[in-house]
Amino acid sequence: MIDPIDLTGEHSAVLVDTFRRRVWRYYETFGRHDMPWRKTRDPYRILVSEIMLQQTQVSRVVTKYAEFLQLFPDVGSLAQASQRDVITAWTGLGYNRRARYLHQTAKRIVDDHGSQVPGDPAILKTFPGIGANTAGSISCFAYNTAVVFIETNIRRAFIYSFFSGNTDPDTVDAVLFTEQFVAENAEGAWFEPRKTIGIIDDSTLLPLIERTLDPENPREWYYALMDYGNALVRYVDNPNRASRQYVRQSTFEGSRRQVRGRVIRVLSDLPRASEDDLLDTTGAPVAYLQSVLQDLLAEGLIVQDGLSWKLAE
């Protein structure tokens, strides 16, 4: 594992300043300023977006986010809805247990917090399906709290910038701060190939994230970081492969995730379906489908109704 960077030396101070300026400049020029959850300060809507964005691409979330909020415009309407209606509205985003967690969270917010989404990450972490990083992101984006958290794009930005390539403070990135460079170069010119050596743990990155955090405007700073990290993967080999926390996404076609999604989609469209119906629509082997059904049953997403299956209410 790579040793932590010394954050006390003059060299590191220059690197941190260079990094900040580069990220801000990139964000000003290429930032994703039109994403709908960045145009609201409603904590409920930000909660919904952060749960949806867990393990799901932005492009898939944008349309579903608007549709979901039309059905459940506030935390009270979501809490009062049936689980079946919530899961049906969620269909297409995948990882359907997140819909159940969000539904349960809404009920707790109404019952225990006067229908106000808490801003304290310690409280947010007590809700189902919300870990430290999601709690941090909700707190930051909803309340502009200067909290330290990490997600895949942030991780990518820091590994690329501090653990690979040229880190000579006298030369690194200087050209990127000229008006001429910004005017004359496309996005891809900002990202030169770099090679990371070794394995970097999140525990090494967190002090750097804290050191670079903008305490006056953490919300916008994290937006900028995420956009910078998101762009990186389009132009260079994914720096996150050097992360100890990196998990390669499995192939979706024919996967357990795909079968689970098909089951939920069928049961969203029908009051109930037999095992034979599900075999026909999923194309899964009998034993495999039965295993998936038992998982969904244990998670509280479906129930057995005689010889048929249906979404849990």
Q: Hey, which residues are catalytic here?
A: 50
Chain segment 160-214, per-residue pLDDT in tens: 988 876 555 444 454 455 666 666 667 887 788 887 777 899 999 999 999 999 9
Q: What's the confidence (pLDDT) of residue 262?
A: 86
Q: What's the confidence (pLDDT) of residue 249?
A: 63
Q: Where are the beta strands (DSSP E) in the chain?
A: 273-274, 302-305, 308-311
Residue 176 phi, psi (nearest 5)? -75, -5
Query: 10 Å Cβ neighbour count for 242?
Result: 21
First to last CA, the chain: 47
Q: What is the mean pLDDT of the chain?
A: 86
Q: Out of 46-50, 169-173, 286-290, 301-305, which region has the weakest mean confidence (pLDDT)?
A: 169-173
Inform me whether the pLDDT recorded for 229 exceeds 60.
yes
Inform me whether the pLDDT recorded for 225 exceeds 90.
yes
User: In the chain, what are the domains?
Assistant: 10-30+150-242 (no CATH), 36-143 (1.10.340.30), 256-311 (1.10.10.10)
Q: What's the confidence (pLDDT) of residue 170?
A: 47
Mean predicted confidence (pLDDT) in 266-292: 81
Chain segment 34-88, per-residue pLDDT in tens: 999 999 999 999 999 999 999 888 989 999 999 999 999 999 999 999 999 999 9
- Pair 134, 205: CB distance under 8 Å: no
- The DSSP call for residue 249 is P
Q: What's the confidence (pLDDT) of residue 302?
A: 83
- Pair 61, 52: CB distance under 8 Å: yes
- Pair 238, 194: CB distance under 8 Å: no
Q: Residue 300: left if φ>0, alpha if ψ -120 to 50, beta else—which one?
A: left
Strand order in the sheet with 273-274: 273-274, 308-311, 302-305
Alpha helix ranges (H) inside 113-186: 121-124, 132-143, 152-162, 179-184
